[in-house]
Structure formats: structure tokens, C-alpha cells
Structure 1
Amino acid sequence: MAGPAPIEQVRADVAILGGGICGLWTLAHLRAQGYAAILCESGELGMGQTLRAQGIIHGGLKYALDGALGAASQALTAMPARWRASLQGERAPDLRGARLLSPHQYLVAGQGWGSRLAGLFASKLLQGRVAALDAEQIPEPLAAALGPSARHAVYQLEEPVVDVPSVLESLAHANQEALMAITPEATRLRYAAGHVAGVDVQGPSGQRLEVLCEQVVLCAGAGNEALGRLMPTGAAPMQRRPLRMVMLRGALPDLYAHWLGAGTTPRVTVTSHRDSAGRAVWYLGGALAEAGLDREPLAHARAARDALATLLPGVDLSACALAVLDVERAEGRQAAGLRPDGPVLHHADGVTLLWPTKLAFAPLVAEQVAARLAQRGVRPGHQPLPDTRRWRRPAVGVPPWDEVTAWH
């Protein structure tokens, strides 16, 4: 009977476990600085939270609707410009191969919001990031829905929307030689003198690899909970916040918009996408997604369609196919389960566990990981990239509209 596959040993500066947007962006950022970094993924790149995001690069405006730029808003302020620099090839990582779905979004004010928003958005802190639109500037189908009341009802937010699969493809293509497909069962952290010394992984064909490194970065979303238990100190506390997202598929115009209701959380957020057959899909988030958890999924989808129909009476939604997708957001634990204001990073003995909180924060997380390496005295340029050509590369996963098979 054959014994276990022999263990191959390689050296690197950093080993990243988890191939979502933060893992891939961190990999690209570290390699651009000269670090020998590899990324291990046990499934498909982006599976879980990343591919289920709407692709909005938030700039914090929706968190400033209470009249103050709080911690969440301030943390997000620089992210749209940072992403644009990469999308235009002006800054690493070069994302010119990724698709920009829309350079901006629209914010539709509910009753009673007009004068409040006009005063808020006139502040110097927000100038250049938002603009009130005159009636003739408002795109269809918003103009048709609002009619004569459109004045001071629609604002253009300078927050881009990206096609998430193409971002992942761009990052993966540029870093193919540093990506490794692994199985999760055999992964373990290797320690020496109380400090991480590497990580042991196993490939889909049973081959085993010991990566000796200075830092291990765990960015596997909900998977961090299990990976963190491999640490002597145990896992950092994590929380899960569920959503019930709705999708509509049919003859739909492109639309990227938030509608405000009574509170500061958008009543509904719509982004537009195309499935693998080229069909238009609206992906619905916002408070609507949070409110649907207590409903039967199809009933929730129908209620969401009906609510949207009242907001956009000029768009016929009656023939649209409906689908529901439950999404579980994994985050660093906060008091009372509140949403974190920014990324949450936990450092212990050469291991970093991180939760980005939002897709938009990927560049900031990568910079924080690099700063941690510098703080620990781990300098780039000492290790060549390990030769992992014999290992299978993980593929990019599919987006929600192609993942879901139960359309009604």
C-alpha cells in the first residue's frame, strides 16, 4: 500500500490563505513591492462574499446622511479614487483588464429629504463627490418615475460600480504563478518558538507542500473561523450578518441607484449586470435585503419586485424572472453585532486574520498588511518566488446570476 505523498518544501515571505478580493489584491500589492508571496485557495477565486457583492466602490456618502461624516464614511472617502487609479492603469495593481459597469451611481431622495440633502451635500467635505441633477440631466427610467418632482430629488454620486468577476480575472491573470489550488482538510499552521514558521497545504491530487514563510495572512471570510482555530491563541472573534438578495432577469435598462426611505439606510439599491447568456439582471440590495430574512424566499422576491415597481412605474417588471440568494457577511466581531466602520485585522504571532467589511476596502487592507510586515522587520527582496508550476491554479468562480438555478 502506497504511503502518503512526500512533502515538498518551498520558501516565501508571505503565504495568503483565501482568494477573495482582499486576498488577491493583497497578493498583487505585496508582489509589486518585491515580496515573494503566494496565495492558496481551497475552492474558486471569489467564492462566497466577493462574487456576491454588488460591485459598488463606496465612498462613504450613504453613511453621512445623518449629517455627519462618521468613522465609516471617513474610512471610505479615499476608496473610489484609489480604485479608479488602478482601473486606469495609473497605480498597481493594474486593472485595465477589468470592466467598469458605471462611473457613478444615483441617489433618489425620498419625501422630506430634498432640503436636508441639499444642505449636507453643499458642505466642503463633500464637494466634488456628489452633485444635484437638474430635471433634464436625470436619466431614464428615473426621470419618468419622478416626473415634475424631479428637481432636487436625484443626486449623482461619484462612486463607481465594477464588474467583480472581471476584477478577479484581471488580478488572477497577472499573478497566475503565485496561485495554488489546495484542499482545506490538510491545511495547518507550522510554528517554531511560539511564532508562525509556515503553513502546510495539500493539493487536489494529494501532493503536499510546506511553505516556510515569515507571515501568514488569513482572509478566507467565514472560513477564517476554522483557520483561526489552528492558531495557539485560537480564532479572533467573528460575526455573521445575513442578507437575502433578490435578482430580476428580463428586458431591463441599465440602472445603478439607491432609493432613500425614512431612515439613512437606502430602501433599495439596484445594480445592473449581464449573465453568461447576455441577459440583463438587476441585483437588489439595501434595507430590502436585510428585511427579507423572515420571509419565505419567493414571497420576498415578489414583494421586492412589487416595491420596485412602485418606484419605477415606467418599467414593466411583470415578465421578469425572479431569484433569491442568501448571503452571509463575515466580519470581525463588534459590540451588539454592529457593522464595523472599516476593515478588521487581528495580528498574533506572525499570523494576520482579516475581514475587509466591504469590497471597496481591498486596497486599504493590502496596505495595512504591508505595513504590518514592515513593522515586523520583514523586508522584500530576500526570497525568490517559489516554483509552483506543478500545482493546479484555482479558477474564478461564477457570479450569483449564473450560480442560481432556481429562477421563477
Structure 2
Amino acid sequence: MTQTTLNTDVVIIGAGIAGLWLHHRLNDMGIHAILLEHGHIGQGQTLSSQGIIHGGSKYALNGVLSKAAQVISTMPARWKSALNGEGDIDLRSVRKLADHQLLWSKDKLSSKMVSFFASKALSSRMQRVEKREAPALFQDTGFKGTLYQLDEPVLDIPSLLTKITEKWHSRMLLVPKDSQYHWQRTRQKVGIVQIGDMTIHAKQFVLTAGEGNEALLQSLGIKQPTMQRRPLQMVLCKSHDSTQPLPTIYAHSLGSGSKPIATISSHQTQQGETVWYIGGNIAEEGVGKSRENLIAEAQQLLNNILPWFKLPNLDWATHAVNRAEPKQSSLTRPDNAFIDSQQNIHICWPTKLALAPDLADQVLKAINVDSIEKQTYDNPDFPHPEIAKPLWDRAF
């Protein structure tokens, strides 16, 4: 067996949005970084997301601007800057599905909630939408509720992956799926990782593999931090008849509770069909339910939250995904992106798609990029990972 040796400044393991964003930034800065992936780019949580760049508004529906809402509040502006070609990464060719999301209630909102939405805390992020200015779905005379616009864009994740991958794809390495990672330490620091017949020498190692971080931590003998999984079972539907497509919608449906009843985003298949991808409470409460039962509940839910809209005959699918995060008490949602540095090993979870830029900031600080002497490395030709197929084209 022929042994291959690579030298680099930084090894990043995991080609989800967190690893891709960091990889792009490091290489743009002249720091040589290799990204390792054992499957397809974006195949886990990234392509299971709805593409929403959250700004925290949905975390404030109980009338309190929580820590989570404050931490994520600057992220839409960071992403919009990148989408305009003025940010950390040039994302100008990424397709925006929507400039804004909507938040609707089929009934009138409580005066307390309306007052909070109009307060200084949220007034810059959330505006009331008059019926004449609403999308066609909400201009229907049967809609008697309330509609707000959230200043949070929705992105087409496949186009995001294409853009963020193309420039430095040559520094992404596809490793065999069942590869074992063997680490060599000198004076408490890892200097070498061996994967099959490949040996990689690096100064810093960053774990951004989502659920895969658990096995990586075990291979390193690191017991803390530990990982938690918060599962979801999302629902997808599309019109059975292509001549009666579903309308495009990017919106949260409000009830009386502090979480959206449902969050609906719209996505196009390769055949041009519109797919509704449904998350929110139904996805959280759908964990462990049979596909048939969850679909029946989703059908009833749509009839309940959109009573004025006659749904066409629909094809249905479900999608189970785990949100991998640093362990919290009672399996609660972490407030922000997470990094734990142990010598030159950096264990990371972004916790939300929107927080990828924030996580990269934290990692750049932790590895002290200014102290890394920039060098030129010659890399042999090796296989590169490809982008995973979009969920909408494989779920049905």
C-alpha cells in the first residue's frame, strides 16, 4: 500500500456549513487549510435545513428578548453583506429564495404580543404587513388573521454549497467512509492524523462534523465536551398534479404558544415542482411517530392553519434529522455557536445555519491566525467530495 503524506496549516473535519465557511475564510487569508469529508458535502444537517437565516425573532414570541435571540440578532446582516459581495465571503451568486419571511396567525394576535412586536426591541426586525401588500395566499378574503414580515432572508442551500465550495474545492479531501482516525501527539499537542494510507501533518485541527464529532472525540480520547442529539421529523409535500402547484410561502404559523405551530419553506425540485418543507412544533412532536400518523397530522394541521386555502391532492414524505449540539441540561437548545479548544484541537458545533460566520470568528481567534507562518504546500492529486443531492429530489 502506497503511503501519502500531506502537510498543511489547519485540518478541518466535516463539510457542513460550519466547516465550509471556516475553510473558505482560512484559505482566503492565505492560511493553508484542508477539509476532510467522508461522504457528500452538506449531506447532514446543512441540506436538512430550511435555509432560514434566523435573526432571533422566533425565539422572542413569548414576549421576552432571550439570550438566544440577542446572540443571533446580528447574523442576517452578516449574511446579507456576504450576499452583496461585501462580507467575509463573496456569496453574490447564491440564490435567495426570499428577502423576508412572514409570520402569520389565522386569528387576531393578543394585544400583549402586538405591543411586543411594535416595541423598540423588535420593531426594526418585524413590520406589520397590510393585506393589499401581502403575497397572494394572504390576500384571499378568507384570511382574517394578522401578518408580519421578518427581516430574515431564506437561501437556496444547494446554490450556497456550490458557491462556498467552488473556490477551494481542490483543498477538500474525500476520505473512505469507514476510515479510522489515528492521532499522534507530541507534548500534548496533536501533530499528525493518519487516515488509512494517508498521513497529514498540521498545526491545528478543527472538528466541525456535526454528529460525526462524537466518534472523533472518542478516537481522540476526549471525554468532555459531550454531544447531545435533538431529533426532528420534518414533513414534505408537493402537489400530485403539476398543473396545480403549491404557492410559494416562507412563513411561521403562530398559535397561542411561544413556538411556531409550523414553519413552511418552499423549494424547487429539478423538475420545477414546488415542495413545502414543514418544520416547527410538528417536527419536534413528530419524533417517534409513524410516517403515516405524522402525515395525517400534517394534513390536518395545514387545513387548520390555512382554512381559506383549498389544498390540491398532495404527495407526502417525512425526513428524520438530528440536531447535533454540545450537551445542555435537560437537552435544551444552546444559545450560541460553540467551540471548546483543547491545545490545538478545536471542537465545534454551529448549532444553527445562521451562526456559521460567528463560529468561524471564534475559531480564527482560538487558533490565533496571526501567529501562523504562511507557507506554500504541494498537494498530491486526491479525490474530492461532491455536493449531496438536495433533499427535495430524493425524499419522494
| TM-score, length of structure 1 as denominator length | 0.91
Partner of 1:226: 215
Aligned 8 A contact 1:217 1:353 in 2: yes
Tell me whether 1:237 sits opposite 2:226 in the alignment: yes
SS at match of 2:374: coil
What amino acid maps onto 1:384 in structure 2?
Answer: T
Q: Name the CA distance, whole Å, in 2 between partners of 1:356 and 1:199.
A: 24
Opposite residue 271 of structure 1, the aligned amino acid is S
| d(CA) in 1 for partners of 2:202, 2:212 | 21
CA contact (8 A) 2:106 2:306 kept: no
Conserved? CA contact 1:298–1:324, under 8 Å: no
Task: Give the superposed CA RMSD.
Answer: 1.7
Q: 1:369 aligns with which of 351, 363, 371?
A: 363
| Matched residue SS, 2:40 | coil
Determine if the alignment matches structure 1 residue 160 to structure 2 residue 156: no
CA distance in 2, matches of 1:211, 1:165: 30
Alignment-mate amino acid for residue 336 of structure 1:
S
**Superposition pairs of residues 323-338 of structure 1, within 5 angstroms:** 323-338=317-332
In structure 2, the gaps of 5 or more residues are 240-244
Alignment check: 8 A CA contact 1:225 1:235 kept:
no
Q: Which moved more, 1:178-187 or 1:271-280?
A: 178-187
Alpha-carbon distance between aligned partners in 1 of 2:238 and 2:106, rounded to the nearest angstrom: 26
2:204 to 211, 215, 218: 215
**How many angstroms apart in 2 are the aligned matches of 1:74 and 1:145?**
37
Tell me, yes or no, if structure 1 residue 391 matches structure 2 residue 387: no
- Evaluate the alpha carbon distance shift between residue 140 and residue 275 of structure 1 in structure 2; reply closer, same or farther with a 3 A threshold: same
Deviations 1:202-243 (A, max 9, x none): 4xxxxx322211110111111100001122333521001111
Is 1:258 the equivalent of 2:244? no
- Contact 2:264–2:277 (Cα < 8 Å) also in 1: yes
Question: C-alpha distance in 1, partners of 2:151/2:237?
Answer: 25
SS at match of 1:23: helix
Partner of 1:201: 195
Q: Which amino acid aligns with 2:389?
A: V
Question: What is residue 136 of structure 1 aligned with on the other side?
Answer: 132
Pick one of 165, 172, 183 that aligns with 2:165: 172
After superposition, residues 8-407 of structure 1 pair within 5 angstroms as: 8-109=4-105, 111=107, 113-144=109-140, 147=143, 149-150=144-145, 153-183=146-176, 184-202=178-196, 208-234=197-223, 236-250=225-239, 251-374=245-368, 379-388=371-380, 390-404=381-395, 407=396
Mark the CA change 1:24 to 1:145 in structure 2 (over 3 Å): closer, same or farther. Answer: farther
1:146, CA displacement in angstroms?
Answer: 5.1
Question: How far apart are 1:262 and its partner, in Å?
Answer: 2.1
Question: In the alignment, is the contact (CA less than 8 A) between 1:12 and 1:386 conserved in 2?
Answer: no
Q: CA separation in 1, counterparts of 2:142 and 2:22?
A: 43
CA distance in 2, matches of 1:198, 1:253: 53
Residue aligned with 2:161, SS: helix
Distance 1:349 1:381, change over 3 A: closer
Identical positions, percent: 36
Task: Report Cα offsets for 1:185-210 as digits up to 9, x if no partner.
Answer: 232222111111132234xxxxx322
1:67-116: per-residue Cα shift (whole Å, max 9, x none)? 22111001110110101111111113111121100001000135463422
Give the CA deviation at 1:386: 4.2
* Partner Cα distance (1:125, 1:215) in 2: 40
Asked if the contact 1:28–1:171 (Cα under 8 Å) also holds between the matched residues in 2, the reply is yes
TM-score, with length taken from structure 2: 0.94
Shift in alpha-carbon separation, 1:116–1:386, aligned structure 2, 3 A? farther
Cα distance in 2 between the residues matched to 1:318 and 1:146 = 17
Given residue 243 of structure 1, which amino acid in structure 2 is its aligned partner?
A: L
Kindly provide the CA deviation profile for residues 250-300 of structure 1, in whole angstroms up to 9, marking residues without a partner as x: 211110000111211100000000112211100000001011124211221
Q: Match for residue 5 of structure 1? A: 2
AA in 2 matched with 1:199: V
Distance 1:119 1:231, change over 3 A: same
After superposition, give the CA deviation of every residue in 1:353-386 in whole Å (9 maximum; x if it has no partner).
1111111011111111101011xx7634522244
What displacement does 1:324 show? Answer: 0.7
Give the CA deviation at 1:345: 1.5
Contact 2:142 2:308 survives alignment (8 Å)? no
* Aligned residue type for 2:210: G
SS in 1 for 2:159: helix
Once residues 53 and 362 of structure 2 are traced to their aligned partners in structure 1, the CA distance between those partners, rounded to angstroms, is: 19
Task: Report the CA distance between 1:387 and its aligned residue.
Answer: 1.6
Contact 1:14–1:37 under 8 Å retained in 2: yes
* Structure 1 stretches lacking a partner, 5+ long: 203-207
Deviation at 1:143, TM superposition (A): 2.9
8 Å CA contact 2:344, 2:367 repeated in 1: no
The corresponding residue for 1:205 is none
